[in-house]
Amino acid sequence: MKMISRRDFLKASAVVGAAGVLTACGGSSASTAASSTAASAAASSTAAASGSANIGVCIYQFADNFMTLYRTDLEEYLKDMGYAVTIVDGKNDQNTQTEQINTFLQQGVDVLVINPVQTTSAQTIVDTIKPSETPIVFINREPDKSVLDSYADKCCYVGADARQSGTYQGELILETETQGDINGDGKITYIMCKGDPENIDAQYRTEYSIKALTDAGKEVECLYEYLDNWDQTTAQQDVANALAQYGEKIEVVFCNNDAMALGALQSLQQAGRTVGKDVYLVGVDALSEAVQNVVDGNMTGTVLNDDVGQATAAAAATKLYVEGSKVEQYYWVDYVKVTKENAAQYIK
Ligand code: BGC
């Protein structure tokens, strides 16, 4: 069921929120977020009739549920602006993506939108592109600030602050009847299904979901953190193993994204566990299938990773580069907590 049209939602979320200051955490470098003046240009369907441009878009991997939503939105908004858009699949291989970037440079694209395979390769990517003076909009996988600084005025990042999504996951657990302590032993016992360990989203969601619990004065016990690389099948297998090993001890299953939460849910159901009764389960992204499970009570909650808002901001930043206008260094889009009460509106 589609509650609001994609276009309406796009308009509603078109304004990119001003950013605060990001503080260093867990050894990662501090980055100062510039306030955003991103126009809601992408929301406008007025095509840039003349002044058309060629945009190259590099996605880390097409076989990623969330990035599939994101790239579909982005393609639509850029085409609405009258641009010629080519989107390529990095197949989760940095060498493949680097070749694709080189091909785009040979073709003389006007702007590159890049979702890097490896954020640690972002500096090399910038160094490769710099001589051509082609502007870069990095998306979804946040490079170090030093990388953006090294190509100032020609390079920006559009994303969401993953700490917020982690905090929301912890809050979703605190809002349950038992506040996560189903067996009443005074501590919240959990397992964590983690995304790509190099990805800041995975790092922050892992850290901040638990921080929300400890900040609220809760005692926590981590049984195991599984490296599931954002992948549903891997999470399904790991959670099946965890259930065999730890059984009823597991009170909460935290998943860094919904794909893994859906895998976890399959294993929980197979093991006869009931979410909301003898276990809690949270994800991030608000994929339609996950949101439906929240509505049905099979997931405790999820967090909207706003693909529409981020694609809107990325298209708006691209347009500013095409037009030669001033572009900020960071554009941030808010996450939204999705509970049984508000979930229906997030089914796309
Ligand atoms: C999403 C994941 C996705 C990853 C790709 C994250 O923000 O939550 O679902 O796999 O981005 O980089």
The pLDDT tens digits for 87-100 are 999 999 999 999 99
DSSP H or E run through 55: strand 54-59
* Residue 343 pLDDT > 70: yes
3-class secondary structure, 237: helix
Total residue count of the chain as it appears in this document: 348
Q: CA 87, 89, 90 angle in degrees (round to 5)?
A: 125
- Which is the closest atom of ligand 1 to the Cα of 205? 8
Ligand 1, CB within 6 Å, residue ranges: 64, 66-67, 140-141, 195, 199, 201, 230, 257, 259, 284-285, 305
Joined tokens for residue 86: 């080519």
C-alpha–C-alpha distance, residues 58 and 7, integer Å? 24
Backbone angles phi, psi at 259, to 5 degrees: -55, -45
| Cβ partners under 8 Å of residue 69, min gap 6 | 287, 307, 348
Q: Which of 65, 67, 138, 304 to mutate to test the pocket of ligand 1 (most atoms within 8 A of CB)?
A: 67
Among the listed residues 346, 319, 348, the one whose alpha carbon sits nearest the alpha carbon of residue 335: 346
C-alpha–C-alpha distance, residues 185 and 319, integer Å? 55
DSSP H or E run through 45: none
**CA 105 / ligand 1 centre spacing (Å):** 27
Local confidence band at 33 (pLDDT 50, 70, 90 cut-offs): very low
| Cβ partners under 8 Å of residue 60, min gap 6 | 67, 90, 92, 97, 115, 116, 117, 140, 141
Half-sphere exposure of 184 toward its Cβ, with a 13 Å CA cutoff?
A: 1
Q: Which domains does the chain have, with CATH numbers?
A: 6-160+307-334 (3.40.50.2300), 163-304 (3.40.50.2300)
- Which is the closest atom of ligand 1 to the Cα of 195? 10
Query: What percent of the chain clears pLDDT 90, i.e. is strictly above it?
Result: 84
The answer for 272, left when phi > 0, alpha when psi is -120 to 50, beta otherwise, is left
C-alpha–C-alpha distance, residues 98 and 170, integer Å? 37
Q: Range with the lowest mean pLDDT among 29-33, 46-50, 178-182, 218-222?
A: 29-33
Q: Which residues of 39-73 are buried (b: 16+ CB within 10 A; e: fewer)?
A: bebbbbeeebeeeebebbbbbbbeebbbbebbbeb
Q: 99-105: long-range contacts (C-beta < 8 A, 24 or more apart)?
A: 100/56, 100/58, 101/56, 101/58, 101/125, 101/128, 101/129, 102/128, 104/56, 104/58, 105/129, 105/132, 105/134
**CA 162 / ligand 1 centre spacing (Å):** 10
The single-letter code of the amino acid at 29 is: S
C-alpha–C-alpha distance, residues 302 and 288, integer Å? 11
Among the listed residues 127, 91, 129, 124, the one whose alpha carbon sits nearest the alpha carbon of residue 113: 129
The single-letter code of the amino acid at 182 is: I
Q: What is the pLDDT of residues 169-191, one digit of tens each?
A: 999 999 999 999 999 999 999 99
Sign, CA dihedral 30-310-57-290, equals positive
Give the pLDDT score at 17: 34
pTM: predicted TM-score of the whole model, two decimal places: 0.85
> Atom 3 (ligand 1): residue with closest C-alpha?
66
Round the average pLDDT of the chain to a whole number and report it.
Answer: 88
Local confidence band at 6 (pLDDT 50, 70, 90 cut-offs): very low
Backbone angles phi, psi at 60, to 5 degrees: -60, -35
- CA-atom Rg of the chain in angstroms: 20
* Residue 330 pLDDT > 80: yes
Q: Range with the lowest mean pLDDT among 35-39, 254-258, 279-283, 333-337?
A: 35-39
